[in-house]
Every structure is written in structure tokens, then in C-alpha cells.
């Protein structure tokens, strides 16, 4: 009989977010085995929500499953970075262009608030917080594009992109440069310059990819 999942979804969500946070803060190291029993004991839960959380994180790119070794923390390499950023370079500038053209002032305000929140994270050199704020900023700019499939594809990359960002910042802490670029993209978006915002974003993503590849 197949196993049924009966625990509250909220418990799995709490476990999911804690494991995600531990990966992004490097408490759980790249390549480190993720043993269900150990994680369950650490988090004070049964193995079931841990198992469900690891499945979700495998789909999002933070966890890798091996037939012989089980689950482990994903390790970023050049192939992974190029694959993720190739998709972003194709889809995200176009999604932002459409979103800006559709005029979504609430989303632009959300992006602006995210930039304000980033100030303290930059001062504290909090890579995990910065990676989460980074993806919130990007999502605020593209999610008004009007294409749910495009949004879904980009959303599916957000954990991988966060992990790649952290790897890059560990070798080259260039977040101040990236946040300056974010401000330029947002300024163009606020002016209603859809093509300009898309072009600035494309350059922003492409430049970061080159820095990542040099760091790996």
C-alpha cells in the first residue's frame, strides 16, 4: 500500500523552509548527505515531513538524490549555472518587458520595498537574506507579465538561482554592484521604459553569469 501523507501541510512547510534556510546559510554544506532521521531529530518532527520537504527541494534544485547515496545538498558547478542562467536570459527580460508595459504600480512598489530591505542585509553581509531578497525583487518585476506559464518557469528556477548567487558572492562579494544595477532597472520600469528595463536586466543577468563562471 502506498504511503499516505496525513500531517498538516503547515508542518511540512516549516520543515521545508528550515532546510532551505540551512542550505542557503551553508549550515548544510554542498554535497553534505541529508539523512531523514538526523534532520527529523534536529527539527523535532517525524521523518514524514522531512521526506516530503526533501522531495520539494529536489524539484527546486537545492537537493540531489542519488540511487546509492540518497539525498544530499546540491553542489553548484558551471554546467548548472549556465543552464539556469541560459533560461533566465531568454525568458526573464521579456517577462519584465511585458510586465512594465502592462503598468503594475503595486509590483514596482514591492520591488522598491525589497531594495530598501536589502540595505541591512548588505551591511550585515547576510548572503542568505540577500539571495531571498534578490529573488523577491526579480519576481516582483516579472510576475505582472500576464503569462502564467512564463512566471511558473521562472519561479521554478528561484531556489537554484539563490544558491548560485550565494556561491558567487562567497568568491566575489559583488552584491553592492548588483543592487546598483537593480536600482537602474527599477528606475527604467518606473518611467514606463519597458525596453530599457528589459535591456538593463539582460545585461545584469549576463554580467553576473560571467562572474559566477569565473568564480567556480
Listed by start position, the domains of the chain span 9-73, 78-215
Q: What sections of 25-126 are H helices per DSSP?
A: 36-43, 47-60, 78-102, 105-123
Q: In this model, does residue 5 exceed pLDDT 70?
A: no
CATH number assigned to the domain covering 78-215: 1.20.120.530
Look at 4-8, 109-113, 204-208 and tell me which has the smallest mean pLDDT: 4-8
**What are the C-alpha distances in Å from 44 to residues 17, 27, 41, 154?**
14, 17, 5, 33
Query: Looking at per-residue confidence, does 60 or 125 come out higher?
Result: 60
Query: Looking at per-residue confidence, does 214 or 1 come out higher?
Result: 214
The predicted model gives 115-144 an average pLDDT of: 88
Compute how many other C-beta atoms are within 10 angstroms of the C-beta atom of residue 34.
24
Cell of 44: 523535532
Give me the architecture of the 9-73 domain, per CATH: Orthogonal Bundle (1.10)
Q: In this model, does residue 3 exceed pLDDT 90?
A: no
Q: Percent of the chain, pLDDT > 90? A: 69
What pLDDT is attached to residue 138?
A: 96
Amino acid at each position: 500500500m502506498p504511503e499516505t501523507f496525513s500531517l498538516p501541510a503547515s508542518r511540512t512547510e516549516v520543515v521545508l523552509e528550515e532546510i532551505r534556510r540551512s542550505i542557503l546559510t551553508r549550515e548544510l554544506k554542498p554535497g553534505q548527505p541529508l539523512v531523514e532521521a538526523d534532520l527529523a531529530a534536529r527539527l523535532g518532527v517525524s521523518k514524514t515531513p522531512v521526506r516530503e520537504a526533501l522531495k520539494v527541494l529536489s524539484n527546486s534544485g537545492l537537493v540531489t538524490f542519488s540511487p546509492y547515496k540518497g539525498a544530499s545538498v546540491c553542489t553548484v558547478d558551471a554546467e548548472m549555472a549556465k543552464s539556469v542562467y541560459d533560461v533566465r536570459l531568454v525568458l526573464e527580460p521579456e517577462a519584465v518587458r511585458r510586465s512594465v508595459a502592462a503598468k503594475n504600480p503595486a509590483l514596482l512598489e514591492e520591488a522598491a520595498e525589497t531594495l530598501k530591505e536589502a540595505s541591512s542585509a548588505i551591511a550585515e553581509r547576510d548572503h542568505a537574506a540577500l539571495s531571498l531578497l534578490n529573488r523577491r525583487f526579480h519576481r516582483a518585476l516579472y510576475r505582472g507579465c500576464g503569462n502564467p506559464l512564463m512566471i511558473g518557469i521562472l519561479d521554478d528556477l528561484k531556489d537554484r538561482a539563490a544558491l548560485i548567487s550565494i556561491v558567487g558572492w562567497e568568491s566575489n562579494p559583488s552584491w553592492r554592484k548588483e543592487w546598483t544595477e537593480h536600482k537602474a532597472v527599477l528606475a527604467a520600469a518606473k518611467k514606463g521604459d519597458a525596453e530599457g528595463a528589459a535591456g538593463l536586466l539582460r545585461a545584469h543577468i549576463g554580467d553576473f553569469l560571467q562572474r559566477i563562471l569565473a568564480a567556480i
